[in-house]
């Protein structure tokens, strides 16, 4: 299973890649495999204020709709519009082309609450 | 506790994701729901449906018993080898189950029922049987079922069995043998495509599965899980018991008036259905496509303006149409006003477009008895 060491994770299967100020968020390889063919993504609005652990996007497979929880609090600064026409990018490349939204962190210390790759591996094993 | 079909090990070897389905460990998908769905629409797919229930009804008064138990008219089974789709209703006219009836002989029938309702169906039948001279036999746990569906299915069948399948019409069956294994083969299915369902002894079913799987390879056949089975049946607009029909809805509310014969002698539920026929129904099952982005799902609320007027019973992203499709019940008075309806999806209301008939045109086998030479 692909769990890049450079990322931080939530136990609800989101990843975040962060430089300390803004972070890109997506779902993990484990999550996309469990969901199967992804056919729809509901993106958050740019400029929206979000708080850690709250649902702010929806990823849908053929069978189910799954809420995506932001790992950190802040403001949405960008969304991956490519997912509107090609939601399957999440299946094909969940850690780069399949990112979902970008958030400007309001409290960078929240990053300390997240799992590292080893911690996340324990969650999914 | 979960039950496995006799093909369980084959599913695991084929890489299936297995889930619990009403107490059965069934493959939900193998390669992926969309790929499997498209294989059935364009080539062929192979299904293990051994969880379905099979109940034999035999004895001198089988015909009278079934005509009392079921809402369709058994007279439509004019000769041996014919099948009808019908409903087993409660006193309120609601669906205990929907099922197929196979006429083997004038006094011998096979009923094929949903896995989730099998035990309830059988006890209901036992309760209704006493005035009639009939024998009931639940053979579900020794009867396996596989289906081959899709445009290539007739070619695949012809490759494994020397039979003129062009003469096996839709909703007809034959009793024959494959490698000395007795098998019932019917031209039926739940996909909207041409296809066959094959019933055989539980322990011998693997031989038939293997033969169909091998023969199908050159046509692009894939094994199909319950995930694609659901998207295929929904595109064909076949109702699913537990979602679109239930003990609380009647065939008339579900738009299935064609499986009800109010002119035949008394049958269970007739009183309520006659009254609904006369006075109209309070709610109706609609089909719809999404006019805006979003996927409708079971349980989502349907609105007319700010009023909740119904509920989605089945919904999915249609792999063939690449749009959200669904079915649901809406109160009849709202439908008469012809107002715009919306579905509440992820806390926003999105417009739907009513759709009559199947979402994808049906490719069932069209040749009929009248063309028989």
* ipTM of predicted complex: 0.88
pLDDT single digits (tens) B63-119: 999 999 999 999 999 999 999 999 999 999 999 999 999 999 999 999 999 999 999
- Total domains in chain A come to 1
Cβ–Cβ < 8 Å for B36, B30: yes
Assigned domain for A3 exists: no
How many residue pairs from chains A and B have C-beta atoms closer than 8 A? 40
Assigned domain for A1 exists: no
What is the rounded average pLDDT of the residues B228-235? 98
Assigned domain for A124 exists: no
Asked if the model's pLDDT at residue B212 lies above 90, the reply is yes
Estimate to the nearest angstrom the gap between the alpha carbon of B293 and the chain centroid: 29
Read off the tokens for B137.
Answer: 């036999």
The CATH number of the domain where B291 resides is what?
2.40.30.110
Assigned domain for A51 exists: yes
What is the rounded average pLDDT of the residues A74-81? 98
**A63 contacts in B (CB within 8 Å)?**
28, 33, 227, 230, 316
Q: What pLDDT does B369 receive?
A: 64
**B319 contacts in A (CB within 8 Å)?**
39, 62
CB atoms within 10 A of CB B321: 13
Task: Report the residue from B28, B29, B346 with minimal CB separation from A42.
Answer: B346
Task: Report the residue from B33, B295, B319 with minimal CB separation from A36.
Answer: B33
Assigned domain for B96 exists: no
What band does B293 get if pLDDT is binned at 50, 70 and 90? very high
Is A55 part of the contact surface with chain B (CB cutoff 8 Å)?
A: no
The CATH number of the domain where A33 resides is what?
2.40.50.100
**By residue range, what is the domain housing residue A103?**
8-119
Asked if the model's pLDDT at residue B372 lies above 90, the reply is no
Read off the tokens for A108.
Answer: 């960078």
- Total domains in chain B come to 1
**A84 contacts in B (CB within 8 Å)?**
293
Cβ–Cβ < 8 Å for B52, B198: no
Strands B3-4 and B24-29: parallel
Q: What pLDDT does A48 receive?
A: 97
**By residue range, what is the domain housing residue B311?**
282-354
pLDDT single digits (tens) A84-104: 999 999 999 999 999 999 999
Nearest to B354 by CA among B371, B337, B373, B368: B337
pLDDT single digits (tens) B189-210: 999 999 999 999 999 999 999 9
| B227/A36 touch (CB, cutoff 8 Å), yes or no | yes
CB atoms within 10 A of CB B14: 16
Q: How far is CA B340 from CA B307, B334, B349, in A?
A: 12, 10, 11
Assigned domain for B219 exists: no
Assigned domain for B262 exists: no
Q: How far is CA B16 from CA A8, A121, B9, B13, B224, in A?
A: 31, 23, 10, 7, 9
Assigned domain for B55 exists: no
Instruction: Write out residues 59-118 of A within 8 Å (CB-CB) of B.
Output: 60-63, 65, 84
**A37 contacts in B (CB within 8 Å)?**
32-35
| A63/B33 touch (CB, cutoff 8 Å), yes or no | yes
Q: What pLDDT does B1 receive?
A: 65
Q: pLDDT > 90: what percent of chain A?
A: 96
CA distance A63 to chain B (A): 7
Assigned domain for B311 exists: yes
């Amino acid at each position: 299973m692909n769990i890049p060491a450079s990322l931080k994770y939530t136990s609800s299967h989101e990843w975040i890649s962060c430089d300390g100020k803004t972070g890109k968020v997506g779902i993990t390889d484990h999550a996309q495999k469990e969901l199967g063919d992804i056919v729809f993504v509901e993106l958050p609005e740019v400029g929206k204020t979000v708080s850690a652990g709250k649902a702010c996007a929806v990823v849908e497979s053929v069978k189910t709709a799954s809420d995506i929880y932001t790992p950190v609090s802040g403001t949405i600064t960008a969304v991956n519009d490519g997912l509107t026409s090609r939601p399957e990018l999440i299946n094909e490349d969940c850690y780069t082309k399949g990112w979902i939204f970008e958030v400007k962190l309001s409290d960078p210390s929240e990053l300390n609450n997240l799992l590292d790759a080893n911690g996340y591996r324990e969650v999914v094993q | 506790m979960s039950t496995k079909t006799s093909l369980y090990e084959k599913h695991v070897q084929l890489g299936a994701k297995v889930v619990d389905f009403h107490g059965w460990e069934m493959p939900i998908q193998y390669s992926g729901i969309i790929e499997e769905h498209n294989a059935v629409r364009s080539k062929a797919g192979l299904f293990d449906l051994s969880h379905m229930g099979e109940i034999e009804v035999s004895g001198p008064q089988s015909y009278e018993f079934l005509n009392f138990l079921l809402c369709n008219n058994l007279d439509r089974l004019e000769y041996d080898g014919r099948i009808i789709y019908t409903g087993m209703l409660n006193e309120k006219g609601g669906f205990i189950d929907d099922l197929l009836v196979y006429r083997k002989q004038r006094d011998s029938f096979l009923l094929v029922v949903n896995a989730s309702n099998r035990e309830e169906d059988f006890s209901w039948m036992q309760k209704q049987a006493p005035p009639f001279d009939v024998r009931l036999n639940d053979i579900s746990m020794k009867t396996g079922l596989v289906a081959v569906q899709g445009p290539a299915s007739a070619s695949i069948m012809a490759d494994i069995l020397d039979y003129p399948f062009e003469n096996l019409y839709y909703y007809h069956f034959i009793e024959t043998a494959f490698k000395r294994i007795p098998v019932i083969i019917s031209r039926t299915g739940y996909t909207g495509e041409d296809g066959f369902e094959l019933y055989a002894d539980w322990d011998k079913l693997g031989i038939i599965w293997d033969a169909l799987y091998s023969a199908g390879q050159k046509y692009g056949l894939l094994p199909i899980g319950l995930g694609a089975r659901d998207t295929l049946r929904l595109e064909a607009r076949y109702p699913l018991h537990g979602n679109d029909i239930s003990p609380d809805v009647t065939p008339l509310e579900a738009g299935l008036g064609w499986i009800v014969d109010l002119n035949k002698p008394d049958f269970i539920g007739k009183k309520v259905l006659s009254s609904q026929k006369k006075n109209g129904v309070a709610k109706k099952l609609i089909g719809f496509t999404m006019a805006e982005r979003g996927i409708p799902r079971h349980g989502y609320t349907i609105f007319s303006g700010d009023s909740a007027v119904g509920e989605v019973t089945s919904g999915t992203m249609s792999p063939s149409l690449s749009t959200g499709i669904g079915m649901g019940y809406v109160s009849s008075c709202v439908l008469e006003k012809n107002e715009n309806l919306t579905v509440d999806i992820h806390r926003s209301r999105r417009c739907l477009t009513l759709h009559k008939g199947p979402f994808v045109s049906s490719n069932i086998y069209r040749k009929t008895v009248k063309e028989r030479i």
